[in-house]
């Protein structure tokens, strides 16, 4: 339906005037007959506006031998979050607070809640850059409908062998879905392609483990701390810091014990402790970027955060 219109726009009404054909829906054919402007250009412009409105109003531009396929109606919204929570999420999306968004996504998944319908535009934009973050459960029925109609979800591979033959984006999406359904199997499948994946793909792949992160992921993440890519190592470290029993968390606790002590008479006391090579290797900077903050306070703040 739209191709003849685009051809007319490119060639001009003088060389290729537009006329409805057999593929034109009856409603638009009737609309064309009702447009009686003396100017062919004006008539075509007005009809194009109607055709695009008709398309976006429920008819996809593609059609088949069976005719036109109306888009299924959107499911009802299932919003359960209070307005205050929606406002906070909107602020985090707007300012790209990724660590806070990851925290919110995890809490929503734990409680079986979806992101609010009002934030579907922000959710869509985020999913295009970080597809592993937005699982089907976070989308809810309305979001899954929107993503399916917009082509934002790749179809899953039919079996475990075929998924490795998919393009990268589809392969990542398949692993994301598997991770949400079967975390251990997803990690095992990821391990089969890890060594052959380029660094930028490994960076995206490791983010998949943020969904349903458990102690079972610790060996894989610990091995990733020795990855050739700095970004992959940093991502692995961030995920390990979410596991209370992991080596990085225990090391941070040890550094805290060296710098904080409780006294019944005076409460918490700050103690002097040296900056070490181990701290540097963990990404803790020695010198504070703020003139009004001491280096020791800056180191302590990094350890806590």
What is d(CA 296, CA 273) in angstroms, rounded to the nearest whole number? 8
Whether residue 4 has pLDDT greater than 70:
no
Per-residue pLDDT, 144: 86
Considering only residues 231 and 34, tell me which one the structure prediction assigns the higher pLDDT.
231
Q: What is the mean pLDDT of residues 61-86?
A: 76
* Residue 261 three-state SS: strand
Rounded Cα distance, 29 and 22, in Å: 9
Predicted confidence (pLDDT) at residue 215 exceeds the cutoff of 90:
yes
Confidence band for 24, pLDDT divided at 50, 70 and 90 = confident
- pLDDT bin (cut points 50, 70, 90) of residue 155 is very low
The CA-based angle 177-95-153, given to 5 degrees, is 25
Judged against a pLDDT cut of 50, whether residue 49 lies above it is answered with yes
Tell me the average pLDDT across 144-160: 67
Task: Find out whether 28 and 21 touch, Cβ atoms under 8 Å.
Answer: no
153-180: average pLDDT: 72
Confidence of residue 211 (pLDDT cuts 50, 70, 90): confident
The alpha helices in 161-264, defined as continuous H runs, are 168-181, 183-194, 199-207, 218-224, 230-240, 247-259
DSSP 8-state symbol, 156? P
Residue holding tokens 């089969």?
192
Per-residue confidence (pLDDT) for residue 190, from 0 to 100: 94
Kind and range of the H or E run holding 270? strand 267-270
Comparison of pLDDT for 78 and 70, the residue scoring more: 78
Hunting for tokens 């597809």 — which residue is that?
131
253 CB-near residues (< 8 Å, 6+ apart): none
- With a CB cutoff of 8 Å and minimum separation 6, the contacts of 116 are 79, 81, 86, 89
Buried b (16+ CB within 10 A) or exposed e, 239-268: bbebbeebebeeebeebeeebeeeeeeeee
Residue 240: its pLDDT value, please?
92
Instruction: Please check the confidence at residue 156 and state whether its pLDDT lies above 50.
Output: no
- 134: pLDDT confidence band, cut at 50, 70 and 90? confident
Q: What is the phi-psi region of residue 264: left when phi exceeds 0, alpha when psi lies from -120 to 50, beta otherwise?
A: alpha
Enter the tokens of residue 16.
């290729």
Q: Are 232 and 202 in contact (CB under 8 A)?
A: yes
In this prediction, residue 217 has a pLDDT band, given cuts at 50, 70 and 90, of very high
pLDDT digits (tens, 9 = 90+) for 168-206: 877 887 888 888 889 999 999 999 999 999 999 999 999
Q: What is the pLDDT of residue 157?
A: 47
Q: Record the tokens describing residue 47, joined without a space.
A: 């009809």
Could you tell me which residues come within 8 angstroms of residue 34 by beta carbon, excluding any fewer than 6 positions away? Answer: none
Q: Which helix (H) or strand (E) holds 263?
A: strand 260-263
pLDDT of 149 above 90? no
**How much is the mean pLDDT over the chain?**
83
Contact 210, 239 (CB under 8 A): yes
**Percent of the chain's residues with pLDDT above 70:** 85
CA distance 133 to 121: 15
């Amino acid at each position: 339906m739209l191709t003849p219109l685009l051809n007319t726009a490119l060639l001009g009404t003088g060389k290729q005037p537009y006329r409805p054909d057999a593929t034109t829906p009856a409603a638009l054919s009737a609309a064309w007959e009702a447009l009686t402007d003396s100017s062919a250009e004006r008539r075509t412009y007005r009809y194009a506006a109607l055709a695009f409105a008709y398309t976006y109003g429920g008819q996809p531009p593609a059609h088949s031998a069976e005719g036109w396929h109306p888009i299924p109606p959107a499911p009802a919204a299932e919003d359960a979050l209070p307005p205050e929570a929606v406002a906070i999420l909107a602020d985090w999306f707007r300012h790209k607070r990724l660590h806070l968004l990851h925290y919110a996504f995890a809490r929503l998944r734990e409680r079986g809640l979806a992101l609010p319908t009002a934030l579907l535009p922000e959710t869509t934009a985020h999913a295009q850059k970080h597809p592993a973050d937005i699982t089907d459960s976070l989308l809810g029925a309305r979001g899954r409908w929107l993503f399916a109609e917009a082509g934002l979800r790749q179809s899953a591979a039919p079996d475990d062998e075929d998924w490795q033959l998919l393009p990268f984006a589809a392969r990542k999406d398949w692993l994301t879905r598997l991770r949400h359904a079967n975390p251990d199997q997803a990690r095992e499948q990821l391990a089969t392609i890890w060594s052959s994946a380029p660094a930028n793909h490994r960076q995206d792949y490791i983010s998949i483990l943020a969904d349903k992160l458990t102690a079972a992921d610790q060996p894989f993440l610990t091995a990733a701390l020795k990855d050739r890519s700095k970004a992959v190592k940093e991502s692995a470290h961030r995920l390990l810091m979410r596991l209370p029993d992991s080596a990085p968390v225990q090391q941070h606790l040890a550094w805290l014990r060296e710098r904080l002590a409780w006294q019944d008479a005076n409460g918490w006391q700050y103690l002097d402790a040296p900056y070490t090579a181990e701290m540097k290797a963990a990404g803790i900077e020695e010198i504070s970027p703020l003139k009004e903050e001491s280096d020791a306070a800056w180191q302590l703040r990094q350890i806590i955060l």
